[in-house]
Structure 1
Amino acid sequence: MPPGKKPIGCRWVYKTKYNADGTIERYKARLVAKGYTQQERIDYLDTFSPVAKLTTVRLLIALAASNNWFLHQLDVDNAFLHGDLNEEVYMEPPPGLNTHKEGQSKSDHSLFIKGTSTDFTALLVYVDDIILAGNSMTEINSIKTLLHNKFQIKNLGELKYFLGLEVARSKKGIHLCQRKYALDILKETGMLGCKPSSTPFLCDTNTLYRADSYLDDPGSYRQLIGKLLYLTNTRPDLCFSINLLSQFMKSPTNHHYRAVQHVLRYIKSKPSEGLFFGVDSQVHIKAFSDSDWATCPNTRRSTTRFCVFLGSSLISWKSKKQSTVSRSSTEAKYRALAAIVCEIQWLHYLLQDLQVREAGTPALYCDNKSARHIAHNQSFHERTKHIELDCHVVREKIQANLLRLLPVRSDEQLADVFTKFPHRVRFKSIVPKLGLVSIHHPA
């Protein structure tokens, strides 16, 4: 940038980089745009890049499978970021400039859409990796040429490997897994030759809450949990176990590490298992909501669990401890309902941005009769006054015909696998219903 020039609506952040011996190596400066959300002494020095949500990635791939869209991948060469700027840079729109962002999704700001009367193309950005999806190869090639003329782009052809996710396509659909990533974890931990396990959880979890036998170096445990958390992007069957073990990263014990080793033995049994998005899957949202109640012996908080399908394709799921203590199982279930309703609303907006019409009203299944009654009841009373906000959220969306709240038998509740450790036989019956399959031979 020319001397004396400063982009409008920004300020500089200065940082000193030191050598290993404590001497100063160099001084660094970074430009922070006005309107940022970073806070000093918290994340003020962090650098952020456009990152698409993994749910958006799965949704786009599921739609590509059911609509027979082309799927291609691009990579941006970052060399252009180190060039000199010879013009004034605006970090905020100058007065009088029209800032209408046509083509950018409001639900995910890393998603861009271009549609005509006959063609549709979607571009999804994750830092410097790009997915191109659409029904016209001519339009996709045109966008590739346009991007290459503006930036330095590597054309990687059909989507095969994205963010560690392996994509395999056939006439039946698209398979998404992290086989190489899983095998790398097993190799790094020395568990590549271990004895496989049929489930990812131990029969007795009481030892996880014992305050003894702390690890001398908790760093290796934390690093391993972090890697396994990323593996859950295609392995929802690991979600509950890893979520539980991640709650002990502050002071892990040998009991926790043995539990992680048991998870690794389960991964060894099916390293290539992943999500399958079939070509015959309908564009209809179907969700299952569940929660436990006060099962954490330390905090007595409940855990919200849900999973969302697009037809037969699993695209979203969550296993998260609730922020407050629920005073009844109905309250815990209802807080879970409020969370899944917000997720369905967001997916509804995302499908609208992708110009995809849903086949019918989304269906939400809940196995708690009291929670369903509160959702349909127009009046509040003392039992529900403390969860009034969640009640309004769920009931408002039901009345707006965003979704239908339906009953489901407890033995057909697919969210059980995100809520608790089900019986081994039940666990094996749920996993295939989540759309998890393996297309490789066992390791």
Structure 2
Amino acid sequence: MKPPPGLHIQDSKLVCKLEKSIYGLKQASRQWHDKLTTTLITIGYSKCPSDHSLFLKIASKFTAILVYVDDLVLAGNDLHQIQYIKSVLHSEYNIKDLGKLKFFLGMEVARSREGITLYQRKYTLDLLQQSGLLAAKPSSTPMDYSSKLQISSGETLKDPTPYRRLIGKLLYLTHTRPDISFAVGCLSQFLNTPTDLHHQAAFKILRYLKNSPAQGLYFPIHNTTTIKGYSDSDWGACLDTRRSITRWCFFLGSALISWKSKRQNTVSRSSAEAEYRALAMASCEAQWLLYLFRDLSIPHTSPISLFCDNNSALHIATNPVFHERTKHIEIDCHVVREKVQNGTLHLLPISSKFQIADFFTKSLSPLPFHHLLAKLGMISIHTQACGGMLKETSNSQDEEDHHSIKQ
């Protein structure tokens, strides 16, 4: 063993004994999280059972700390408590206070009297510049709706590294851009042996992003705390495995808060079975949202309305008579029936043309694509259509405060 650079030891027989976990070690993140957790619990915070990276302190007022490694976000309406916790963390870990939350992990936060917008404009522009498409012609949709890609489509790339790197960056962009989640999810299935057609499809997503790089999620301040969800499935959509695609999304009032687009693990024998499996996954997400609401002390007395456009799946969920059609379905899929019976969910039918989750199940032509996109509650604050919506508010007008700090 050799002493680290900067440490001068005359006796060459001496070695260093590790007293603390540092960056680069496998146990470093665990040790850091344990130490930070101990500090926060000591001063009255509790770890959220539904999300272990969230710490809460609820008394007469509310304070929350969201942790990502050594980056912390403080939020709440108790300014005195926020200042106190920052002073404690500074004395313990020598933190750096970044002030009002405006930028966090590549995500930009814009606040106004009307609400909060979460977007990734700088990340998108950097991605376009790195790909050489900053001056490319924009595309109206993120994916070609006239054809479907397969593993054997096109010629295999000699070097798949650029394609894999691009898809990885696009996956991170889906945190604030649900409009590209389906396209990115499809292309991520070809990471093993990508082809030139797959690479061209990834470039089409970038050309779509050029239309509105600042588009993101909008959370209005005048909003309800009622959760509603949409569940959908595209039967046998994967041409290589013939598995169905599960899609669901949940709204808090008019704000989109949760969504998913994923290929199912098994092949469904019918469209009703595929839709029922999608309902089961959506039911688990609805239950988790209720747990999170409970930890945040937000009441949600009424059942969550979950919309589905397949009547057979709704009948299977509410009526266990269809034995011949459901005896081969795994038992865990029947969790949706349990949630309906205990009042957690309220299943409702909906027409396919009003099914918002259809946005995450297939590539659409421009007209239906933008029709459903308008229902997701996304805005672009760098367009005139916003009418100067986002204007900074003064500290005296902000009853609730958000701060970002770094260790």
TM interval, short-chain normalised: 0.7 to 0.9
Report SS of the residue matched to 2:134: coil
Report SS of the residue matched to 1:387: coil
**Distance in 2 (alpha carbons) for counterparts of 1:242 and 1:107:** 28
**Distance in 2 (alpha carbons) for counterparts of 1:201 and 1:159:** 34
190 and 29 in structure 1: CA distance in 2 versus 1, 3 angstrom threshold: farther
Is 1:316 matched with 2:258? yes
2:179 is matched with 237
**Distance in 2 (alpha carbons) for counterparts of 1:139 and 1:310:** 27
Is 1:158 matched with 2:100? yes
321 and 195 in structure 1: CA distance in 2 versus 1, 3 angstrom threshold: same
188 and 392 in structure 1: CA distance in 2 versus 1, 3 angstrom threshold: same
Is 1:297 matched with 2:254? no
1:86 is matched with none
Spell out, residue by residue over 1:81-105, the C-alpha distance to the aligned partner (whole angstroms, 9 max, x if none). Answer: 7xxxxxxx99xx9xxxxx9x97111
Spell out, residue by residue over 1:359-387, the C-alpha distance to the aligned partner (whole angstroms, 9 max, x if none). Answer: 63211110100000011114451111112
8 Å CA contact 1:345–1:402 kept in 2: the answer is yes
TM-score, with length taken from structure 1: 0.77
Query: Counterpart of 2:152 in structure 1: which amino acid?
Result: R
Query: Counterpart of 2:179 in structure 1: which amino acid?
Result: D
1:121 is matched with 63
- 1:114 positional shift: 0.6
28 and 343 in structure 1: CA distance in 2 versus 1, 3 angstrom threshold: farther
Aligned with 1:416 (options 340, 343, 358): 358
1:136 is matched with 78
399 and 385 in structure 1: CA distance in 2 versus 1, 3 angstrom threshold: same
Query: Counterpart of 1:203 in structure 2: which amino acid?
Result: Y
1:381 is matched with 323
**Distance in 2 (alpha carbons) for counterparts of 1:184 and 1:28:** 42
432 and 30 in structure 1: CA distance in 2 versus 1, 3 angstrom threshold: farther
Spell out, residue by residue over 1:395-436, the C-alpha distance to the aligned partner (whole angstroms, 9 max, x if none). Answer: 111111111111111101001111001231011111121111
1:171 is matched with 113
- 1:124 positional shift: 0.8
2:168 is matched with 226
323 and 391 in structure 1: CA distance in 2 versus 1, 3 angstrom threshold: closer
1:260 is matched with 202
Query: Counterpart of 1:430 in structure 2: which amino acid?
Result: L
Matches within 5 A, 1:322-337: 322-337=264-279
Percent identity of equivalent pairs: 53
28 and 309 in structure 1: CA distance in 2 versus 1, 3 angstrom threshold: farther
258 and 208 in structure 1: CA distance in 2 versus 1, 3 angstrom threshold: farther
**Distance in 2 (alpha carbons) for counterparts of 1:28 and 1:331:** 61
8 Å CA contact 1:416–1:422 kept in 2: the answer is no
**Distance in 2 (alpha carbons) for counterparts of 1:435 and 1:28:** 56
Query: Counterpart of 1:424 in structure 2: which amino acid?
Result: P
**Distance in 2 (alpha carbons) for counterparts of 1:360 and 1:348:** 11
**Distance in 2 (alpha carbons) for counterparts of 1:352 and 1:227:** 34
209 and 133 in structure 1: CA distance in 2 versus 1, 3 angstrom threshold: same
Report SS of the residue matched to 1:181: helix
- 1:388 positional shift: 4.7
**Distance in 2 (alpha carbons) for counterparts of 1:280 and 1:306:** 25
**Distance in 1 (alpha carbons) for counterparts of 2:192 and 2:355:** 33
Report SS of the residue matched to 1:421: coil
2:141 is matched with 199
Aligned with 2:342 (options 383, 396, 400): 400
8 Å CA contact 1:182–1:267 kept in 2: the answer is yes
Q: Which runs of 4+ in 1 moved over 4 A?
A: 27-31, 45-48
381 and 47 in structure 1: CA distance in 2 versus 1, 3 angstrom threshold: same
**Distance in 2 (alpha carbons) for counterparts of 1:203 and 1:108:** 37
Query: Counterpart of 1:409 in structure 2: which amino acid?
Result: S
Q: Mind listing any 5+ residue stretches in structure 1 that lack a counterpart?
A: 1-13, 15-26, 34-44, 51-79, 82-88, 94-98
**Distance in 2 (alpha carbons) for counterparts of 1:47 and 1:251:** 34
2:47 is matched with 104
Q: Mind listing any 5+ residue stretches in structure 2 that lack a counterpart?
A: 2-14, 385-407
Query: Counterpart of 2:226 in structure 1: which amino acid?
Result: H
Report SS of the residue matched to 1:220: helix
29 and 362 in structure 1: CA distance in 2 versus 1, 3 angstrom threshold: farther
- 1:441 positional shift: 4.0
- 1:28 positional shift: 12
With a CA cutoff of 8 Å and minimum separation of 6, indicate the structure with the bigger relative contact order.
2
8 Å CA contact 1:164–1:178 kept in 2: the answer is yes
2:225 is matched with 283
Query: Counterpart of 2:140 in structure 1: which amino acid?
Result: S
| RMSD of equivalent CA atoms | 2.8
406 and 150 in structure 1: CA distance in 2 versus 1, 3 angstrom threshold: same
